[in-house]
Amino acid sequence: MSVGVGLGHTQKWQKSSLSLNTGYINLFPYLKLVPNNEQAKFKKPYQSFSSESVYRKHSKNGIFKWYTAYELTNLEVLQPDIDQPQPVNFSLRNENLYTNLSYKSALGNGWSFNHGVSASYSRNKFDIDLTQIENRELAANLKLKMSKRFSNRIKLYFGGEYIYKTFSEDFIASENLEELQIKPEVSAGFAEADFIFSKKFALKTGFRGTYLDLKKQFYWLPRLSMAMKTGKDGQLSLAYGQYLQQPENDLLKFDQTLEPETATHYILNYQWTRPGYILRAEAYHKEYNDLIKFNTPEPGYNSAYTNEGYGYARGADFFFRDDKSFENLQYWISYSFIDSQRDFRNFPIKTTPQFVANHTVSLVTKYWIEELRSQAGLTYTFASRRPYEDLNTSGFMNRKTKNYNSLSFNWAYLLSQQKIIYFSVSNVLGSRNVFNYDYAKTADENGIFERQAITPAADRFFFVGFFWTISSNKSKNQLENL
Span 458-469, pLDDT tens digits: 889 999 999 999
pLDDT of residue 274: 94
Provide the 8-state DSSP code for 52: E
Residues 160, 189: Cα–Cα separation, whole Å: 4
Q: Are 122 and 152 in contact (CB under 8 A)?
A: no
Is 40's pLDDT higher than 80?
no
Give the residue with greater pLDDT, 176 vs 331: 331
Q: From the CB of residue 413, how many other CB atoms can be counted at a distance below 10 Å?
A: 15
Q: How confident is residue 264, by pLDDT bands cut at 50, 70 and 90?
A: very high
Q: Are 44 and 74 in contact (CB under 8 A)?
A: yes
Q: Pick the range with the lowest mean pLDDT from 32-36, 94-98, 145-149, 245-249.
A: 32-36
pTM of the model: 0.88
Q: Pick the range with the lowest mean pLDDT from 95-109, 396-410, 448-462.
A: 448-462
- Residue 445 makes CB contacts below 8 A (sequence gap 6+) with none
Q: How confident is residue 39, by pLDDT bands cut at 50, 70 and 90?
A: low
Q: What would the pLDDT profile of 213-244 be if each residue is shown by its tens digit?
A: 999 999 999 999 999 999 899 999 999 999 99
9-32 burial, b for 16+ CB within 10 Å, e for fewer?
eeeeeeeeeeeeeebbbbbeebbe
Rg over CA atoms, the chain: 26
Q: Are 225 and 202 in contact (CB under 8 A)?
A: no
Q: What percent of the chain lies above the pLDDT cut of 70?
A: 99
Q: What would the pLDDT profile of 432-448 be if each residue is shown by its tens digit?
A: 999 999 999 888 888 89
Distance of CA 213 to the CA centre of its chain: 26
pLDDT of residue 86: 86
The average confidence (pLDDT) of the chain is: 93
